[in-house]
Structure 1
Amino acid sequence: MGAPAEQAKQPVNAALAGPYGHPFHPMLVTVPIGAWVCSLVFDIASYVVGSPGFLTQGSTWLIGIGVVGALAAAIVGFLDLTAIPTGSRAFRTGLVHMTLNLVVTAAFVGNFLWRQADHDQPAPVAPGPLLLSVLSLAALAVSGYLGGKLAYRYGVRVANEAVQAEGFRP
């Protein structure tokens, strides 16, 4: 394995981005993904129940929690990106991954603000914010695919094979 690939496996700052073999970014992304998926579940459920106000309010809260989580994930993700040699396929993939995530986060910020006008209404979520959530999650899925490519294909912030082999020794 060459020096550029090894460079992308090492943390730029272990205290902020996580130590070697234990990056924080994959752990932190579970917060916005989980919150935003659950917000969509609440949105859809708001069309099924008799008194949907609590679901629309809960969905708005989940979107806000997801935005805060996304900002934390973005900070450590950016640190991981700076470890990847510029000009490489991995770096370009990382830039697209980051850009998509920032667009998705901005869309959810807009979605959160859009919902504020109807926050106290005992009605299902409006179709516009619901559609924005669906489109945002679709873009997030594409970005997640790229994040998986960074980790599992290019090995960004993944321990090298010699370290991985330790887990398979008796």
Structure 2
Amino acid sequence: MVTEEHARAKRPVSALLAGPYGHPLHPVLVTVPIGAWVASLVFDIASLCVHDPAFLTRASMWLIAVGVLGAVAAATAGLLDLVAIPAGTPAQRTALVHMTVNLLVTGAYVGGFLWRHAAGTGGSVGAGMLALSAVSLGALGFSGYLGGKLAYRYGVRVADETTQAEGYTPSRPSR
């Protein structure tokens, strides 16, 4: 049974800022920090394998910055999705954990960027910086699992079943 609150969680608070019904912006925007931070870790590892790692450590640092900016944009859209979820529900609790983990991860990457900026980018990335990126990326993966649970299990910002059924109704052949 779909309640009014459940149906409201599927609708955007602001279609302009969060994306229209059935097309939320948050899942699209999260690709920026995920891609930037994964590439940053790849560059960090690669910096340990080359003779002159400065270009890789510098690129990694700036990829972290791009990821942080993307995370701010994704968080804005995600917050708009969060406010539509009914209070006291498993979906809201999952969303709050998802948000908290993402804020911690973003904070860790901000700290990592500042650490790298202060240390300079002349050599390969240090073990501590590499570990911070790896742990942060692992936490981001856990948060992504929670985001998937919100969309695929609880249906947050996912079109209702009646709308989805349109995609499975055979079209009549034209004559």
Please give the TM-score of this superposition, normalised by the length of structure 2: 0.95
Which residue of the partner structure matches residue 101 of structure 1? 102
- Inter-partner Cα distance in structure 2 for 1:118 and 1:102: 24
Structure-1 separation of matches of 2:146 and 2:6: 17
Q: Distance in 2 between matches of 1:90 and 1:120?
A: 42
1:99-126 CA-partner distances (Å, limit 9, x unpaired):
00000000000000000123341x1101
| Alpha-carbon distance, 1:166 to partner | 1.0
- Deviation of 1:68 after TM superposition, in Å, equals 0.1
Return the letter of the residue paired with 1:33. I
Q: Higher Cα Rg: structure 1 or 2?
A: 2
Which amino acid is 1:41 matched to?
V
Alignment match, 1:137: 137
What value does the CA root-mean-square deviation take over the aligned residues? 0.8
Identify the residue that residue 88 of structure 1 maps to in structure 2: 89
SS of alignment partner, residue 86 of structure 1: coil
**Cα distance in 2 between the residues matched to 1:20 and 1:120:** 44
The code of the aligned residue for 1:157 comes to: R
Matched residues in 2 for 1:156 and 1:168: separation? Answer: 21
Provide the C-alpha distance between the structure 1 equivalents of 2:150 and 2:121, rounded to a whole number of angstroms: 42
* Consecutive aligned runs of 4 or more in structure 1 exceeding 6 Å deviation: none
Counterpart secondary structure, 1:157: coil
Q: What's 1:68 paired with? A: 69
Q: Deviations over 1:42-98 (max 9, x none)?
A: 000001111111000000000000000000000110000000001100001000000
SS of the residue corresponding to residue 11 of structure 1 reads coil
What is the CA–CA distance in structure 2 between the aligned matches of 1:45 and 1:95, rounded to whole Å?
35
Distance 2:87 2:121 in 1: 48
1:148 maps to a residue whose letter is G
Question: In 1, Cα distance between the equivalents of 2:49 and 2:167?
Answer: 47
Cα distance in structure 2, aligned partners of 1:120 and 1:40: 15
Tell me which residue corresponds to 1:162.
Answer: 162
Give the structure 2 partner of residue 16 of structure 1: 17
Once the 2 structures are TM-superposed, how far is the Cα of residue 168 of structure 1 from its aligned partner?
1.6
Amino acid corresponding to residue 117 of structure 2 in structure 1: Q
CA distance in 2, matches of 1:68, 1:136: 16
The alignment-based identity, stated in percent, is 64
